[in-house]
Amino acid sequence: MRTSLSFSGGANSVAMLLMLIERGERPDVILHADTGMLFPEEYEFMERVEDYIGQKITHLQPKRTWEEHFYHVKTKGKNAGKINGYPGVSFGCGFSRVAKMEPLDMANSESDIVYIGFHCNETHRVMNKPKFRYPLIEWGFSGEDCKEYCRQHDLLNPMYELGFGRAGNCYCCPYKNKRNLIMIKERYPDLWNKMLRWEEDSPFGFKPGVNLYEL
């Protein structure tokens, strides 16, 4: 029986991984859908996790990079002829489907059990697929419980300590709040300048109500 674990590097997936190993249920493969758009510290952090557990993380590559997807020209609908640009916050992220969901679906198709890191307050996200298992929900672990568990093992993603509310998602994600965006501007000027260039090229700007240049 082949087991796989979907790993983002956030507190939920790290805590789930550590607890499964402690309970003697080490997954056969750890799958990270690598968008190529994480903060530098997060890639270093994943190497620390590998050293700690003595197991490699498999980094799945998307069929399109962020920029290839960003500048891809639409061929259908009312926006035909325009590039994708930044994803709209009201109808989900197309790049997430390309870079995360599709590679994970393909890799997990070979597994008999797939561990998903939704915590106990995310039962609404559970998918009705027999081979999907949600250990954190089974164990009653909340998001804060996961962070505390990671702290106890000195394996909390550094982005939390820096003040970011989430970890394991693209640095340019439009779902980031203004406080986190300003932190990127101050701490990662090179990344910020890329985001400004993309905003200028995006048909719909960065997102409604937020202009990066104004920040």
Answer whether 35's CB lies under 8 Å from 62's CB: yes
Q: Is residue 171 part of a domain?
A: no
For residue 76, what pLDDT is reported? 87
Amino acid at 114: V
Q: Is residue 207 part of a domain?
A: no
For residue 215, what pLDDT is reported? 86
DSSP bridge pairs for 133 = 115
Q: Is residue 44 part of a domain?
A: yes
Q: Which domain holds residue 48?
A: 3-164
Structure tokens at 197: 């260039």
Q: Is residue 214 part of a domain?
A: no
Number of domains into which the chain is organized? 1
What's the rounded Cα separation, in Å, for the pair 5 and 127? 15
pTM score > 0.75 for this model? yes
Q: Is residue 209 part of a domain?
A: no
Which CATH number characterizes residue 31's domain?
A: 3.40.50.620
Q: Is residue 203 part of a domain?
A: no
Q: How far apart are the first and last CA of the chain?
A: 51
What beta strand segments (E) does the chain contain?
Answer: 3-6, 29-33, 57-60, 113-115, 132-133
Q: Is residue 178 part of a domain?
A: no
What order do you get walking across the sheet with 113-115 strand by strand?
A: 57-60, 29-33, 3-6, 113-115, 132-133
Answer whether 150's CB lies under 8 Å from 157's CB: yes
DSSP bridge pairs for 57 = 30
Q: What angle do CA 91, 166, 180 make, to 5 degrees?
A: 85
Structure tokens at 115: 């561990």
For residue 88, what pLDDT is reported? 79
Give 10-residue mean pLDDT values along the chain (215 residues): 96 98 98 97 98 98 94 89 85 87 93 96 92 97 97 97 92 94 97 98 92 92
Can you tell me whether residue 141 is helix, strand or coil?
A: coil
What's the rounded Cα separation, in Å, for the pair 53 and 17? 9
Q: Is residue 100 part of a domain?
A: yes
Question: What distances in angstroms separate CA 14 from CA 61, 106, 116, 172, one per listed residue?
Answer: 20, 22, 11, 22
For residue 135, what pLDDT is reported? 98
